[in-house]
Amino acid sequence: MNQSIIRLTREISELNKTSDLSIAVACRDADVRNVRAVILGPPDTPYEFGFFEFSMKFGRDYPAKAPAVIALSTNSGRTRFNPNIYAGGKVCLSILGTWRGERGEEWSSAQGLESILISIQSLMSSNPYENEPGFENANQEHDKENKKAYVLKIRHETLRITVIARLEEYLGINADGTLQPSPAPPDLESSEDGDTSLADLEGSILFEPFKDLCKRRFLWYYDSYMTSITAERPKVTDGQVFVRMPFEHSGNTMEGRFYYTELERRIKLVRERLDKETENWAAEGAIMAQRESGVAANLQRQYEQTVEYYKKSDSVTLDIELVDKNPFLWRVTYFGRPMTNLDGGLFNIEIAFSPRFPIEHPRARFRTPFYHYRVTSDGVPCYTVTKTDEGRAHIDAIIHLMEEENGPYDPRTQVNQEASKLYWGTPEQKREYNRKLRRSVQASMDYA
């Protein structure tokens, strides 16, 4: 095997094993040289929690030579998201050889897939206007207004293009709220054992490796998106034209108008549609269970094994049952551990499994109140898991989230904004956080 393929395969594998919430990569098994990547817009920037996708083509001379990188999140070539990320997809970076840099900034074989993606992510700063070469020599007074105007339009288009339009496409929604004609789904009962393999599914649909990832992250960050819309709307008026930057020119610009009222309507519809999709999993799964499909049998077996595992466990007390005897919908009842902030609590968590599990990850939701900085205001837990095809691994990850004390600060996991501000605030704010947590623990008993 070519040495470049060996190295690239290793780099992709290592990236996929990490719990990095900012970067994900994928490729077809038979086409490892053509990599797709998605970068999550960094917190506290106008790119915050946007989904920016890139295509990366690695030659046979990799790592001696850098890959060719093309930005895909450009609104079909109409939107330039950064002075260094063009509407046509060009990414200007010295390590890629697409921009002149200082000595030592050019490509070397010591660099690789991860360093490229981190370099691109570094362009998505809180003041991207300053990325333009020659900025330091420009009219500083005039640039103050341009910097503000540039941030305003990037934030709007990040929401509109990389979040809302992307999710609308995934969910089959037109911008006006109507539904797109649904393509015929792959036959879930087509093979001899009643299942469609991963290879069969990938061959029958477009290669969309981040479809499920973006849906799950959207549920995590929905409150953040709504908060951003609320905060940004008073700064502009609907219909206000974007300000053109000095470095933008025809064919390589970010043109448009602000319409936050419309964005709010569209993002709420995306959320409704995504919640409905999750609800429909149970109905689809019930049909598959009646047909005794392989996916249903696998989940039934996993459920039984998970129940037995926790019966023998002394470290945690919980009950697990199938809702309406449906192996695609698990209800977990967690009993708060004595002598902790969760003492006396009785928490119900529903885990919905997709008929395409494990291609699509399960979606969990607290059905009882739980005030936590890593649980959204409507109960969606923000967690990561390595063994995505094991139902028990998802339960373990949620329990770890609930019981963790003094976890590391990571703004990408702070999905309850009010709780996060209190938890990471002053000692008095931390006490207020604990009081609200305890009140949610007490309230959980009312739902028992």
The domain limits of the chain are 3-280, 293-447
Please, is 311 exposed, middle or buried when counting C-beta atoms within 10 Å of its C-beta (0-12, 13-18, 19+)?
exposed
Q: Would you call 55 exposed, middle or buried from its count of C-beta atoms within 10 A (0-12, 13-18, 19+)?
A: middle
pTM: 0.91
- Average pLDDT estimate for 323-333: 97
Position with higher pLDDT, 395 vs 386? 395
Q: What is the pLDDT of residues 23-49, one digit of tens each?
A: 999 998 878 999 999 999 999 999 999
pLDDT of residue 138: 53
CATH architecture for segment(s) 293-447: Roll (3.10)
What is the set of active-site residues? 92
CATH topology classification for 3-280: Ubiquitin Conjugating Enzyme (3.10.110)
Give the number of other CB atoms < 10 A from CB of residue 128. 22
Sorted by sequence, the CB contacts under 8 Å of residue 410 that are 6+ apart come out as 21
Segment 130-143 shows an average pLDDT of 67
Omega into 411 within 30° of 0, i.e. cis?
no
User: Does this chain's domain 3-280 share its CATH topology with 293-447?
Assistant: yes
